[in-house]
Chain A
Amino acid sequence: MVAQARRQPARATVVNEAAGLSADHREIADDLVARGYFLQLRRIAAALSPALGEMVRDRVFGPTDVQVIEGYIRALLATAQALSMKYLVASRVEGPLSRRLTIDILDSGFPVWQEIAQTAADAAQAGEQLARTPTAEAIRDDMVREIVSDLRHPTRLQYAMSQRMYYEALAAGGLFWPQMNPVALAMGDDGHRRRWLIHWGVYDSRQNLPVVYLLDCDDTGRRPLPDDARRWPEAQAHLLAQSVGALQLLTIAQGFDADFDTLHPFRLRRLTLGPIHSREFTVQEGPIKGVLEDARAAAGEDWALAMALEDLQSGRVEMQSAGLFGVVEKQVYRIDTAGAHGMGQGLTSAQRMLVIPQRPFQALSRLDPPGFRGIRKYVPMPDGRVMGVN
């Protein structure tokens, strides 16, 4: 850990085996660079909201989906805000308190999972921690005293203050945790067949990316699912336990269908937010590298956010006998065996989207790499609107 901390930021374009885990992890040692990184996250989040609106127009998402997704983006933003406080001056403090923000620079651009897990662990103790530390006013008083009477830069007090604000942000809540519990939204009912949009999120520990799941599900239980003290906690635990990036949607949906007789998952979508590419913070491979380098965009525009939406839909329903007299519905999913994207992936379809500011977009259209032709691009304009381009 110590050796790693002294390491210069990794800029190697090729990940070599010998470098091991640190090859795609980068510790941001300079707090000014860390601030730049958080600023960029904020910019991207700001551009995402109009981009999602444009996606609704393109019929990629429904209006409800977008509201759900925006909720997760707000949570991500809150996490970025809390982390920015945590690392505001942390690298300037000496000793073991000195910590650095670690981000995944290869195919992620987000903080590593450990960072997110740590916020969850810290949040559990935020109350005690806040009770133990002096208030912001007291710290400010001490700062003034140290500056005026000792004529010193109050680094340690700044650190104490930043940690206080970090824990305050944690206590306020609304962050993106390693696991975001499933929430069910009512989507109408037809007799005693109710329809739910169940959504939940995880921070994928292997890709270091936030992932949002959207499950459209019919419910033939006697009580509405979120009010059912028996089924709902079980369903929630099941879904979270199966939210593994390497599992195909088919595997997840089918397992859920098999384990809950009264729940009928007819559509499952998985939205992976990211990776974020930028010249300044991450290492690129493939055509996006050329695009960003060609663009030479200023700090505000030097990024591109890729999004992947996997979709699995039920093709038909078969009745299967259960027990002596009962029958249960079983979904048989439409699996895309012909299309290029979905083949062998246990999917009905897959779609990729790219949110990319004007300058790099111009470079992208000029270079026109084949791999990006089928991807819908969303270009944030200076006036805040977003333009969808094929």
Chain B
Amino acid sequence: MASLDQQIIDSQKQVAVTQEKISQVGVTLDRLARADTAAAAPQLDIASATLADVHRHTDQMNANIAELIMGLDDVTAGFSKDFEAMRSRTGWESFVGMFARGKAESMRQERLRTASIDDKLQDLISKSDEITRLLTDQLALLKDQQAKVEANLSQTLTDREGAVAELESLRGRIRAMDPRLIELENKVSTTTDPAERTKLETELANANRDHNELVQAEQVALARSQTLERYIEAGKTWVDSLQNQAATQLVLINKLQTDTRQRVVLYDALTKSLKTAQQQDVAHRINEIGVRTDQEAAQAMAGIGAATNARMADMLEAHGEHMVFARKVLEEKAKADERFARRFAAIVEKHDKNLYSGG
């Protein structure tokens, strides 16, 4: 599993990079929310650029992890070799079998007695655990970010309400000033008395200054409101994206967990069934014979060996309880597989193609 180990390490690195990028987006958005003026606007572009970068990165990362999970599939396919080996004779045993059937059979029995896949199962569980931890870490970060962004978002929504209210009130005051300005302008144009006219002109100039100030304030408020609105847009997109990523992680975790469960259960049941079916009868018969003659024992062993081979299918059927268990696990696996395939159709296809061209 050397290459798988390498793949796990690579994915770990990739997750670290992605997590950093995700945090960065959070920080950028955060700064954007705090910024008061339109001067902050360029940051938004940075934010969207980072967002795109993060998306590209997470896609890549998830693709790798999906590959990893399928890689586990290929690795565990090796188990079937172990089962096949338990069932049949090795080349050397067949060769010996040409001269002494009993001897070949007793060699095979000996091999069967020491066969064990427990360490492989343990390895499978811990590999799967490692990948699951990778995925849950990522999921935790996504959830964390989502909570932060959502909190920020609701704060920003309140801010924006305030900004809009301020804008409205400014606009109201500007509108309220208009009649007074028109009135003053009219008065200035109709008044002939110079003293009176100067007084009115000063008044008009003051009113105009106030008006201009209000208009400027309106523009600032408008810019602020627009910035906030853009932040809200970006924030919502980000939350959506985080949610989507979290869903992907869940699909991956689910697939991995059902896979591992299914494999462990099936492989364990199969090994034990094989061991039992192949050995049980032999022991009884040999014990009855004692060690009267070597030849007799060897003959019995060869005969029983052949008979148990034929009976093995029956024995496997007989473990009904476990087959029901296995069936249920298989159903669960099918479900997890389907969800997985839906989300990672492209990768699955590529993986399968590679398999065919490579194999």
Contacts and interface: CB of A to CB of B under 8 A. Distances in A.
Interface of A: 1-2, 17, 20-22, 95-97, 113-114, 117-118, 120-122, 124-125, 178-179, 205-206, 237-238, 240-242, 244-248, 250-251, 254-255, 258-259, 318-321, 330, 332-333, 335, 346
Contact of A205 (B114, B253, B257, B268): B268
Interface string B275-305: 1100110111011001100100000000000
Contact of A117 (B125, B130, B276): B125
B110 interface: yes
B287 A22 contact: no
B76 to A, nearest CB: 15
A46 to B, nearest CB: 31
B57 interface: no
Interface of B: 106, 109-110, 113-116, 118, 121-122, 125-126, 129-130, 136, 139-140, 143, 250, 253-254, 257-258, 261, 264, 268-269, 272-273, 275-276, 279-280, 282-284, 286-287, 290-291, 294, 322, 324-325, 327-329, 331-332
Prevailing SS type, chain A contact patch: helix
Contacts of B126: 121, 124-125
A21 B328 CA distance: 6
Contacts of B322: 206
B113 A1 contact: no
Contacts of B125: 117-118, 120-121
A241 B280 contact: no
Nearest to A106: B321
Given A121-B126, A255-B113, A258-B110, A178 B283 contact: no
B109 A255 contact: yes
Given A121-B126, A205-B268, A332-B291, A21 B286 contact: no
Contacts of A319: 291
A99 to B, nearest CB: 10
Given A97-B136, A241-B118, A254-B287, 20 more contacts: A1-B257, A20-B325, A21-B324, A21-B325, A21-B328, A95-B140, A121-B122, A121-B129, A205-B268, A205-B272, A238-B113, A240-B118, A241-B114, A241-B116, A244-B275, A250-B284, A251-B283, A255-B109, A258-B106, A333-B287
A332 to B, nearest CB: 5
Given A20-B325, A122-B129, A117 B139 contact: no
Contacts of A2: 254
Given A96-B139, A241-B114, A346 B121 contact: no
Contacts of B294: 320-321
A205 B328 CA distance: 17
Contacts of B115: 241
B280 A248 contact: yes
A255 B279 contact: yes
Identify the 4 closest CB pairs spanning chains A and B, nearest first: A20-B328, A241-B116, A251-B283, A21-B325
8 contacts: A21-B324, A95-B139, A114-B261, A121-B126, A237-B116, A246-B273, A318-B290, A335-B284
A332 B325 contact: no
A242 B122 contact: no
Contact of A250 (B250, B269, B287, B328): B287
Max chain A C-beta neighbours (<10 A), residue from B106, B125, B264, B294? B125
Nearest to B106: A258
Nearest to A253: B283
Contacts of B287: 250, 254, 332-333, 335
